[in-house]
Structure 1
Amino acid sequence: MRRSHRRPTTSTPSGGNCPGKRTTDSHPETRASSSSTTLPRQRSGHGSAGHRGGAAGQRRTRLRARLRRLRGDQSRRPRRSERRLAGGHGRQVCRGTQAAEAKEYAKKVRSRVLAKHPEATFDTVGHSLGGHVATLVASDLHWSSTTFNSPDPWDAMSPEQREWLTKEIAAGRNPFRNFVNEWDPIGNSRGNTSGTAIFVHGLPGQDPLQYHNLDTGFHFTDGRITDITKTGRSRLEITENLLQGCHRRTARPSRRASPEP
């Protein structure tokens, strides 16, 4: 007896094949038409709006568009250096940053003052981040600057600014004075590469904000800062002092009232 080699046919309900379900038949035309009904796979990250990759991509697109609007340029994607405060090693002050806005404001003030007082001179003053920006503006406009607990600006200065500052210091007229508490972790965060820091004596074991704030980090006598030291502290010493101060504060006994007998 001769056996038949035909493949069995899968029966489907009336109304056509179910989407996504493959049917088998002995005819190749039927197999091709039935296999084409399978649903295509969705690419990861481009499917539903709730997908994590798609949402992250949409956030990045919105952030880039917002940065372009802030720069006033819709024709290109902003460079990485333009998204930084003052660039990195030897970069120029770029548009849309605090340093650039402060520089434009300083130019406007200079033009207005010189129109009435041609003999006027200018300098900048700032504390912490404000001192950092004030130093960058002064180095760009060739002014003097007095700052307090400001991070060293050398890494953010352009080659032209560095050349000007180096020549001024070599001539014996340092235009910058940056008073830094010897234990302040913020003012000492970038070292003293520019050579403009004037270190002030501080007591070890205190809260970090006491070193950084103006009213607690410095002592003024008749408008002058006292307790000037010759050298500052290393990063290792500052870190150890911070750890010791944290240990002392956490080791203090609580001042809760004892229960009455």
Structure 2
Amino acid sequence: MCQEGVIMDRATLVCLLSACSLAGILNEGPYYFKSMNPIYGLCPEMEHYSCMVDLLGRSALLSEAENFIKMSSQPQVSLWMALLAACRLHGNVQLGERVAKCIFELDPESARGYVLLSNTYATTGESDTKANIQNIRKERHVYKQPGCIWIQLDSQMHTFVVDDKEHPRMMEIRAQLKELSKHMKKEGYPPEEQLLLHESKTEVLLHGHSEMLAFAFGLISTPPDTPLHILKNLQVCSHCYEVHYEISWENNGCKRC
């Protein structure tokens, strides 16, 4: 882009820093962040700070990420949330508790903060503490936005939620998921243990997320090689993303989703 004379804007740098974070490019990420003002004439905004916290967190540099947030002029909930997600990823309960306290001081009704904290306990096997956190959230009437999936077929929109039982073709969908599960296990694909949070693999695959239900419904409702367009109001979890990716390539590179 620079060679072609394209002007770098705020969104471009967000994409660049996000790519560095997801790819774990620890050296280049901070370089581009520090170069925003002197080279591109852009002042870092909250999205750029969040990308940096995410990059440091994914790289297990949790203390550095915490110091980075404290050095920012106005620590926001989104920054602490990115760090709490990293604490869940690496099972750092001690830091996670401290970060969650900062989140609840800024936003007492942060449902995602409660969910991330309880999942942090779950990754370390502290199921009782996880359940206690969930109970506290419910007692305070803090509810998370439910994850919903939409898939449009023949001009009709179909909606799925986690462990959905309402769709009229649910028995066929479950059967398709069971076949996918057998195929994936035969090919040696295990879901990441940390993503399961001590649930059984079978439960996640067969009764799992709305993404899987919508994907299976699309498979049984369309001819082979039909692209599937699936929308969600929240971020797709890593497990469902990996499943879709694996299935796409197993079908001779067919990009169905």
TM-score bracket, normalised by the shorter chain, equals under 0.3
Q: Which has the higher contact order (CA 8 A, sep 6+)?
A: 2
Structure 2-normalised TM-score?
A: 0.27
Greater fraction of residues in helix: 2
TM-score by length of 1: 0.27
